[in-house]
Amino acid sequence: MPIYFCPQCFAKLAPSVDCCPFCKTAIADYLRKTPYVDRLIHALNHPESEARMAAVIGLGRLAAQAAVSPLLALLERWPADVVQGGEAIQSLRRIGTDAAKNGLQQVAVTHPSRVIRHLAERALNTALNAREADH
Ligand SMILES: [Zn+2]
């Protein structure tokens, strides 16, 4: 049976619930009024790793510039999750702004996980090569 969550506070809900009993969010209203990118960024704090992963991937596909800081925060908050971290790094590479590259450089040097540092380093090299190929 699928599990439903409040998109605002992430409480588990029955699928028929219209208004979250915990945070009083009117769910249909919230989904209609909150921009998709904002919902994805908010979902980076979801307690379920699958939901976080879907948000990480979605933000990368959209190359959402507003997601740079939230993705970097995600890398700090779950430092041992290298699958999620690797995907966050790919999303930062796709976003590709200076802020994203600076963030990746920081991660490549300071992140506690050696695997994550390596993945960030590789993402930076890939981004660089892609830019060189344009010239
Ligand atoms: Zn709620």
Mean per-residue pLDDT of the chain? 93
Encode pLDDT of 83-107 as tens digits.
999 999 999 999 999 999 999 999 9
The model's pTM: 0.89
Q: How many A from CA of 53 to the centre of ligand 1?
A: 20
Q: How many A from CA of 12 to the centre of ligand 1?
A: 8
Residue type for 52, please? R
Neighbours of 49 (CB within 10 A): 12
Q: How many A from CA of 9 to the centre of ligand 1?
A: 4
Q: How many A from CA of 37 to the centre of ligand 1?
A: 19
- At 43, the pLDDT band (50, 70, 90 cuts) reads very high
Encode pLDDT of 44-69 as tens digits.
999 999 999 999 999 999 999 999 99
Percent of the chain as helix, strand, coil, to the nearest 5: 65, 5, 30
Structure tokens that stand for 121 in this block? 């380093």
Q: Note residues around ion ligand 1 (Cβ under 5 angstroms).
A: 6, 8-9, 11, 20, 22-23, 25
Structure tokens that stand for 42 in this block? 């908010």
CA–CA distance, 91 with 64 (Å, rounded to integer): 9
Q: How many A from CA of 45 to the centre of ligand 1?
A: 14
Residue type for 108, please? A
Using a 10 angstrom Cβ sphere, with 0-12 exposed, 13-18 middle and 19 or more buried, the burial of residue 60 is: buried
